[in-house]
Amino acid sequence: MEPIRVAIIGTGSVARSHVQSLQSRGDEVEVVGAVDIDGDRLSAFCEQHGIPNGYDNVADLLEKEQPQLVHVCTPPGAHAEAALKCLGAGVNVIVEKPPTLTLAEFDTLVEAEKESNAWLATLFQHRFGSGALRLQKLMADGVLGRPLVAICNTVWFRDQAYLDVEWRGRWDTEGGGPTMGHGIHQIDLLSAIMGQWTEVSAIARRQARTTDTEDVTMGTVAFANGAIASVVNSILSPREESYLRFDFEYATVEVSHVYGYGDENWTITPAKGYEDKVIPAWEAGPHGTRSAHVAQCIEVLKAVREGTPPPVTSSESRRTLELVAATYASAFQRRPIRPEDLGPDSPFYQRMEGDGPRW
Ligand SMILES: NC(=O)c1ccc[n+]([C@@H]2O[C@H](COP(=O)([O-])OP(=O)(O)OC[C@H]3O[C@@H](n4cnc5c(N)ncnc54)[C@H](O)[C@@H]3O)[C@@H](O)[C@H]2O)c1
């Protein structure tokens, strides 16, 4: 089996998780090259990880290394340009979250993907831990009954110094605050479990940080399956938690962690009388995989090898991005938002802050 030729664009902090995940696959993968606009960072990264060739631009990397897969690990504002170059050259590409700054920008990638023989995926690692897979299996097997109520909290803490990094806390470079930058991890898992959203009502505030964007949003979401969810995204919360709770007819399923979960972070509580139906199914489901980058990388490499659609596909990541856009649109327009409100005519399609935040 020839190794899959993979390259990395952007060699900052998250790129380390990518290269370590790829190199942990041994002979399955060869990391053939990397790109960064910061030459010192690029050479240190290549040297540290034994990557043979570094480039200061994507076109040279694509031409000289002929990768089969590219991981885009730049700040969000540079994702779209890099992904467009890859798709244009017929190279599969996975971009870090958030995939793009806006829905409009994302749709340029959808169009490029349609024209290309390559695909676009987004890195949302929390879909790939065994707890999430187990929950989805029990839902598919009808063990849990109807989903009724959900809670989706990303209550994290970031001090003012965190926001001093040039691209953070700005609509034009990060596309939003904790909703777009942090909560999107949990919002994506909520979306993977619950499916299509139908209505969002939210408020956004700047409570304590000096930043262009929000430092907290709080919202309610209705889903086509009939369930409703509350969603909180904060960087003001000293006791940090990423918490998802799903109340089904026959059981409550919960996960509580901060930046990555294992099986030990999940619990299931059957409704009275459903213990014998629910507990054995939960125990028999998938186990043993943490929600780390490597879990999704394994599936993405499999998609390259087998020529199958990648996880997470562009339509799935668009739905997550749309839910974030709906949160801002509802908060700033002060009204409930439905998917049809976010078409190309909406200012929130063009920019996450629409025609300007109203605090
Ligand atoms: N999935 C996760 O758990 C997770 C965790 C952290 C960050 N992220 C995401 O990863 C991305 C990068 O975050 P980070 O913390 O590593 O940022 P970073 O600032 O540490 O690194 C970004 C790197 O990209 C380089 N860069 C900037 N513009 C470039 C361009 N046009 N071409 C090539 N290189 C360019 C920078 O020089 C820098 O080395 C962001 O989208 C962020 O939201 C995801």
Q: Which atom of ligand 1 is nearest to the CA of 41?
A: 39
Q: Give the Cα separation of 133 and 10 in Å (integer).
A: 30
CA of 76 relative to ligand 1 center, distance in Å = 7
Q: Which of 8, 9, 13, 14 to mutate to test the pocket of ligand 1 (most atoms within 8 A of CB)?
A: 14
CA of 267 to the centre of ligand 1 (A): 33
- Residue nearest to ligand 1 atom 43, measured at CA: 97
What is the number of the ligand 1 atom nearest to the C-alpha of 124?
1
Joined tokens for residue 11: 């060699």
- The DSSP call for residue 12 is S
Q: How many Å apart are CA 15 and CA 20, to the nearest integer?
A: 8
Strands 216-223 and 197-205: what pairing?
antiparallel
Instruction: Write down the pLDDT at residue 359.
Output: 87
What are the structural domains of the chain?
A: 4-123 (3.40.50.720), 146-248+320-342 (3.30.360.10)
pLDDT for position 1: 83
> In whole angstroms, what is the distance from residue 348 CA to residue 298 CA?
35
Residues with a CB atom less than 6 Å from ligand 1: 9-15, 35-38, 41, 73-76, 78, 96-97, 123, 125, 181
What SS3 class is residue 309? coil
Tell me the residue length of the chain: 359
**Tens-of-pLDDT digits for all 359 residues of the chain?**
899 999 999 999 999 999 999 999 999 999 999 999 999 999 999 999 999 999 999 999 999 999 999 999 999 999 999 999 999 999 999 999 999 999 999 999 999 999 999 999 999 999 999 999 999 999 999 999 999 999 999 999 999 999 999 989 999 999 999 999 999 999 999 999 999 999 999 999 999 999 999 999 999 999 999 999 999 999 999 999 999 999 999 999 999 999 999 999 999 999 999 999 999 999 999 999 999 999 999 999 999 999 999 999 999 999 999 999 999 999 999 999 999 999 999 999 999 999 999 88
Instruction: Classify residue 183 by its DSSP letter.
Output: I
Both tokens assigned to 236? 């003001």
